[in-house]
């Protein structure tokens, strides 16, 4: 657990693809919630997720590029 006891979410490729497919930004507010967590450093994903999304030429890939701060290099910790 982190010293400040805040919950941090680790997001993988499959959940981003499922959200993109099933919860479009123009209809559902879940994306704003995720973006808020990213800004607060409470949501992250390994850099490999962004690399996997780079294979897509769609809005999800563009979203990942705009929110690059969430993509972290993996460490032992």
Q: Which residues of the chain have pLDDT under 70?
A: 1-5
Within 13 A of 32's CA, how many CA atoms are on the CB side? 5
Per-residue model confidence (pLDDT) at position 1: 44
Structure tokens at 34: 């995720």
Per-residue model confidence (pLDDT) at position 5: 61
3-state class of 66 per DSSP?
helix
Per-residue model confidence (pLDDT) at position 11: 95
Predicted TM-score (pTM) of this structure: 0.82
């Amino acid at each position: 657990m982190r010293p400040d006891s805040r919950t941090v979410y680790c997001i993988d490729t499959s959940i981003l693809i499922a959200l993109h497919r099933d919860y479009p930004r123009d209809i559902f507010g879940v994306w704003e919630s995720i973006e808020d967590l990213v800004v607060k450093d409470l949501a992250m994903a390994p850099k490999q997720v962004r690399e996997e999304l780079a294979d897509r030429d769609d809005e999800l890939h563009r979203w990942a590029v705009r929110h690059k701060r969430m993509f972290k290099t993996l460490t032992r910790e």
